[in-house]
Chains A and B, each alone.
Chain A
């Protein structure tokens, strides 16, 4: 049996956050495992989209005409602007401007919450006009992908709320803001995925 000295169980050295290091991992390794899982999941879902499109080209040719483009565009703008706020939050914490960091995170949450609200009204409008999950393969795929994305955005919003609390408590500093940055990169990932979903259902014919 090996004997272990106290130093074997010593805490690892505190991480350093050199924003200019060419090989740095933004946030932390754990969040990237989650992000890669999300990317693989959505690649599979996009596969479903392409297969459905190949089998029912006429449905995907006319499908976007009945959806409310304004809703899709508004969600895009909300997510992009919310993402911009998280860029500013990360910039702010790098200078230890905690008040500004908190304001940017709260603004990101506020804008991000606009997404489920717009989605609620969009779905209500859809259902009122006969566009439910059984209205055809295009709309089934549309609900499948967009509601799945909404779930991931909801997780992101919960993460941002957690980060807002920790920012308010003064936990993040310019030397250690990995939690804040991890939430930011996850939030940007939901942006990247929506930038695919939006043209799939509102633009591409």
Chain B
């Protein structure tokens, strides 16, 4: 049986979800987990945006907003892990 494009994308997404499930049970806090989580968010998001929402052949402005969303969030994941103390200082009221 030959798989269509949508089926292949769905299988990749399921495989990446299984990876996330495995990490949920075995992962330890640290840079490897942080980068993997950031990568999974960005890559899975792009798969849905490009292949489910067909953004590769849609309005450029809409595509850029969606791409920005799945780029900013992974960056925030990395920043929050490495520079959480900076964020804490910036968001502390009073002394």
Residues of A at the B interface (CB closer than 8 Å) are 19-26, 32, 36, 39, 43, 46, 50-51, 53-55, 57, 61, 64, 69, 72-73, 76-77, 80-81, 83-84, 86-88, 91, 185, 188-189, 191-192, 195-196, 198-199, 202-205
Contact = CB atoms under 8 A, between A and B. Distances in A.
Interface residues of B, number: 50
A189 B55 CA distance: 12
B62 A196 contact: no
B81 to A, nearest CB: 8
B69 A39 contact: yes
- Most chain A C-beta atoms within 10 Å of own C-beta, residue among B33, B37, B92: B37
Interface of B: 6-7, 9-10, 13-14, 17-18, 20-21, 23-25, 27-29, 33-34, 37, 40-41, 44-45, 48-49, 51-55, 57-60, 62, 65-66, 69-70, 72-73, 76-77, 80, 84-85, 87-88, 91-92
Contacts, number: 125
Contact of A192 (B69, B80, B85): B69
Q: Describe B's contact surface by its main secondary structure.
A: helix
A196 B41 CA distance: 6
Contact of B29 (A36, A61, A87): A61
